[in-house]
Amino acid sequence: MRLLRIALAQINVTVGDIQGNRDRIVRAIREAEGQGADLVALPELAVTGYPPEDLLLKPEFIAANMRALREIAAEVKASVAVCGFADRKDDLYNAAAVMHDGKVAAVYHKAFLPTYGVFDEDRYFGAGEGNAVLELPSPEGPPVVVGVSVCEDIWYPDGPPTAQALDAGAELLVNISSSPYCVGRFETRRQMLATRASDTGAFIAYVNLVGGQDELVFDGQSMLLGPDGELVARAPAFEEALVVVDVDLEAVFRRRLHDPRRRKREEEEKVARIALPAGATIGGRKKPEIPPPPMGEPLCEEEEVYRALVTGTRDYVRKNGFQGALVGLSGGVDSSLVACVGVDALGAENVVGVTMPSRYSSEESLADARALAQALGIELLNVPIEPAFKAFETMLDPLVKDGPSVTYENLQARIRGNILMALSNARGWLVLTTGNKSEMSTGYCTL
């Protein structure tokens, strides 16, 4: 058997925090090497955080990220590590660095740059050309051949990973990614990767970013697929994880004996390999026992969405330096749900509820708000809005007294928004809005 121990380091990094990201990456590599990993894969643009956007226009930011990469490489001892960073050559590139024995051994530049949905990579990066196919010496037989690509590159049937497998004989395709979450995204990815694995007859190691960054949430759910497209291992959703798995690459050889396509490829299409030194040999050293491959449990749609909300809230508050969160509690379903998200994200001690009763508030709704705050264990402030409402009424009555009642109903929401923002400014709390989509579209919410 030619066993390769792979570690997928699903980590949560922060855009712009290059030193913090470097430290997190180094910790993951050390932990993986401690578990005997031959190869460690980390997410796309892990050094800069994703998406770095206009920070990429600052030369010192690029230089700092490249210094950090060299510092990371110096910590890679017993493994080969693949990590995303921003590379500067004749242009800027979304790149994957291959690190071994204290230095950067190879660099791959992302070829397909998405410009749809939340992506605008074509604005910042040049499109890469060429491939990164590695040869790792093996004492049990022929070298292990590994192809490296970045996120979007593997979504195209004729993209670089296919060439790496069919033209260079890659047995393992490593794809580092920062793929944002949306409902049902895991299954879409899994189906695509399963197709690519079965088409190429290769193992696929896919590592994804996890955590929230501004308006985006990354769900992780990194995975390893076998050469028949079967799911071998799956990291959990919405949490950091290190997935370490042993794969028998002889399975690739056996499967490809039944697939003559590689023999038919034209000689001029062959992709060159990068031979790593003998120190990158896989196997041949004693390794600690590891548990069976993890298979993170799939979440139902409601829990998946809820976990995404909690993750996004937690990281937005943490990464932007807020002290806690503030929620206006009406006693209704919307604000109750938001308060639950806040508590699960930040802890009850970091969430404050505010009731702001008016002449239209019922005692039942106020009692519900108090009961919720008690059940969640959060502090509850009471700020009646009647004085402010009367002042506005006095000013506006001559102009709108014959107008629709919704005028004054909407006025309540705006008064409450002012109160919440004043408390936010005074105490450093982030206001979590409680408006649903219908209210957002009509402006009738405390925002």
| Active-site residue set | 44, 110, 151
Longest dimension (CA), the chain: 91
CB atoms < 10 A from the CB of 185, how many?
16
Strand-pair partners of 98? 82, 106
Handedness of CA 356, 380, 426, 308 (dihedral sign): negative
Cα–Cα distance, 269 to 259 (Å, whole number): 18
Q: Is beta strand 203-208 parallel, antiparallel or unpaired with respect to 223-225?
A: antiparallel
With beta carbons less than 8 A apart as the criterion, state whether 99 and 76 touch.
yes
Cα dihedral: 107, 133, 40, 282 (round 10): -130
- Identity of the amino acid at 56: L
φ, ψ for residue 414 (rounded to 5)? -70, -35
DSSP letters for 38-66: SEEE--TTTTT-S--GGGGG-HHHHHHHH
